[in-house]
């Protein structure tokens, strides 16, 4: 079992290979020699080198939105897709404007597309956010398939719910990057709960607490 998250050596970063733990993944060098070959495949090589170059070019200066745009430019993408949450419609419009201004064609699809009631899929009426109303389901599969139809080259996930985002990634034919991670409790900044896990968010992270 790998436990990199609790490692105190991080030989992978420091290069002190003689000090790596017994359960370090790097003990299996043959595995990494094999994986490296994947990066040389035509569908991966430029993608990897370009993403690594973006890290260097905008390190600690470019916000993620610019990184997405710069990456897409260097990859030669012209048609971008965006699957977004309707709760971030205003933000999606800003992203759309910024990307179009830089010359991209942007195809965007809202999460409620189809206007299909949650209860039609077997969801309990007792767990609706607004009981007694027609509450439309989020539809990440449709979002991905519509972007597939539009033949987008690179897709952006903007604020889709946990799990819904996973289905969006699964069904998207084009590579996907996440621009905004949904977190209603932190203003869409999931890292805030991590930074405050031993303080302000301690009780809110405890499944035994309401």
In degrees, rounded to 5, the angle at the alpha carbon of residue 76 between the alpha carbons of residues 72 and 82 is 40
Tell me the mean pLDDT in the region 133-144: 96
pLDDT in tens, 119-137: 999 999 999 999 989 999 9
**Residues 47, 149 share a domain:** no
Q: Which of 83-92, 138-147, 199-208 has the lowest mean pLDDT?
A: 199-208
pLDDT in tens, 22-72: 999 999 999 999 999 999 999 999 999 999 999 999 999 999 999 999 999
**Residues 153, 98 share a domain:** yes
Question: Mean pLDDT over all residues of the chain?
Answer: 96
**Residues 80, 57 share a domain:** no
**Confidence (pTM):** 0.94
Q: Looking at the 3D structure of the chain, how many domains does it have? A: 2
Tell me the mean pLDDT in the region 141-158: 98
**Residues 68, 155 share a domain:** yes
pLDDT band at 210 (very low <50, low <70, confident <90, very high): confident
């Amino acid at each position: 079992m790998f436990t990199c998250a609790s490692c105190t050596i991080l030989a992978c970063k420091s290069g002190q290979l003689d000090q790596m733990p017994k359960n370090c993944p790097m003990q299996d060098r043959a595995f990494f020699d094999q994986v490296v070959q994947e990066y040389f495949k035509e569908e991966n090589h430029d993608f990897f080198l370009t993403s690594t170059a973006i890290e260097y070019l905008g390190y600690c200066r470019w916000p993620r939105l610019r990184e997405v745009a710069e990456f897409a430019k260097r990859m030669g993408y012209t048609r971008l897709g965006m699957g977004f949450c309707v709760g971030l419609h205003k933000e999606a419009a800003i992203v759309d404007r910024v990307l179009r201004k830089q010359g991209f064609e942007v195809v965007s699809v809202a999460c409620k597309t189809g206007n299909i009631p949650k209860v039609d899929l077997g969801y309990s009426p007792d767990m609706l956010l607004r009981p007694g109303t027609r509450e439309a389901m989020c539809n990440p599969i449709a979002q991905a398939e519509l972007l597939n139809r539009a033949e987008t080259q690179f897709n952006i996930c903007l604020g889709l719910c946990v799990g819904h985002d996973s289905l969006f990634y699964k069904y998207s034919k084009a590579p996907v990057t996440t621009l905004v991670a949904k977190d209603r409790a932190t203003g869409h900044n999931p890292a805030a709960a991590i930074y405050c896990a031993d303080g302000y968010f301690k009780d809110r992270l405890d499944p035994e607490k309401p």
